[in-house]
A and B are shown apart, each in its own frame.
Chain A
């Protein structure tokens, strides 16, 4: 029982950090670059993707015995598209301003390869609990990535965070950061940072192994 609990935790943390869909798997780049020009937009996009991914994973995993192998991808797409459309209408009714800013990128969640990838690689082969845990982790990881990109771009590009001015009137905003090139720049720097962490960890492990063998 304790082991299962650990497994569930592992599935969650995997998506949030070790296999982060954006920083490690480099999936879902289209919304990543397009809607992260402010923290609020990033948050809304992340929340929409969160709902779609968790809902689809739950449904795909619970229906996995009844979905024939030959039509599984089409069925997944139908399930995902339904969740996305419902999200689209809901956002338009509840937060029309943000819906207008995100524009075409909400319907485009359907083709976010991260979501389909999770269904094919995980939800269709695992129990409902594991699938939901995995989806929660991955979605939280995606939300975290979007939010960090959006926050950096909004702080540098407008001198604000969630619309609150940070530096006072003397700050000259770096307009490039909220334009598309700013997305690429920020993403590149963040990816650089992540691979540096990874390399450093590997080097430390190697050094540790070396020291251990020398001690013997």
Chain B
């Protein structure tokens, strides 16, 4: 009896060694394949992301044909090629003569269903927003998705004063330069866009002013 048990134990040990080897081998091979796939697709993916961002910047800042990525570090805005993960980034846009036109600022915040990420152009000289582009959203099809599908709503942001703050009003009631027409049936999504821009303004306007002033004096 005891001898047969011993044999069983021995068999099981041999078995588990085989199991471990099989699984490790499978895992190793799978890891290799995944790394290979990741490395071979990464350049295309990053290039595409950069292109999408560039197109969006040119769209929200009319008249711009060169852009520069700026990173906010230690109270300063500095041009930077390398971006760390938790860096705060904005883009500055220049016209054909190399003059600074304005900034493209990215903002994010909760929408009706999921986070909305957007980009908008801002001109410090006139304190105006020149365009808005939704980068990512999962708003309700047919209603909330009008924040980027409805040209009339997007046109609200073409020359919009930011003082004292942007406000969404009922469609057709727009009377001041800092007001936009909300979308009928998608008030929450419209207000979310406004709130995201206002919050991003609170974060960035002072920083931009400080960055522009010394340049103007010098």
Q: Which residues of A contact B (CB under 8 A)?
A: 37, 66-68, 70-71, 74-75, 78-79, 81-82, 85-86, 89-90, 92-94, 96, 100, 157, 173, 175, 178-179
* Contact assessment for A68 and B22 in the assembled complex, using a CB-CB cutoff below 8 Å: yes
Residues of A within 8 A of B45 (CB): 89, 92-93, 96
B44 within 8 A of A: yes
Determine whether B142 belongs to the interface, using a CB cutoff of 8 Å to chain A.
yes
Q: Which residues of the other chain, B, contact A70 by a CB distance below 8 angstroms?
A: 15, 19
B15 touches A68 (CB 8 A): yes
Contact call B38/A89, Cβ cutoff below 8 A: yes
Task: Output the least CB separation between A88 and chain B (Å).
Answer: 9
9 pairs of A and B residues whose beta carbons are closest in the complex: A175-B142, A93-B41, A93-B44, A82-B30, A89-B41, A86-B37, A78-B26, A89-B37, A178-B141
Contact A75 B41 (CB under 8 A): no
Whether B143 and A78, one on each chain, are in contact in the complex, defined by CB atoms closer than 8 angstroms, is no
Which chain B residues lie closer than 8 Å to A66 at the CB level?
22
Tell me the number of A-to-B contacts counted with CB atoms below 8 Å.
Answer: 59
Contacts of B83 in A (CB 8 A): none
The reply to whether the CB of B34 lies closer than 8 angstroms to some CB of chain A is yes
The smallest C-beta distance from A140 to any residue of chain B, in angstroms, reads 25
Interface residues of B in 10-29 (CB under 8 A from A): 15, 18-19, 22-23, 26-27, 29
| B140 CB–A CB distance under 8 Å | yes
Q: Do A96 and B19 have beta carbons less than 8 Å apart? A: no
The smallest C-beta distance from B58 to any residue of chain A, in angstroms, reads 18
Q: Is B33 an interface residue (CB 8 A)?
A: yes
Closest to B138 in A: A103
Q: Contacts A70-B15, A93-B45, A179-B140 given: A85-B34 contact, CB under 8 Å? A: yes
Task: Enumerate 24 A-B pairs (CB-CB under 8 Å) in ascending A order.
Answer: A68-B19, A70-B19, A71-B22, A71-B23, A75-B22, A75-B23, A75-B26, A78-B26, A78-B27, A79-B26, A82-B29, A82-B34, A85-B37, A86-B34, A89-B37, A89-B41, A92-B41, A93-B44, A93-B48, A94-B44, A96-B52, A100-B136, A157-B142, A173-B142
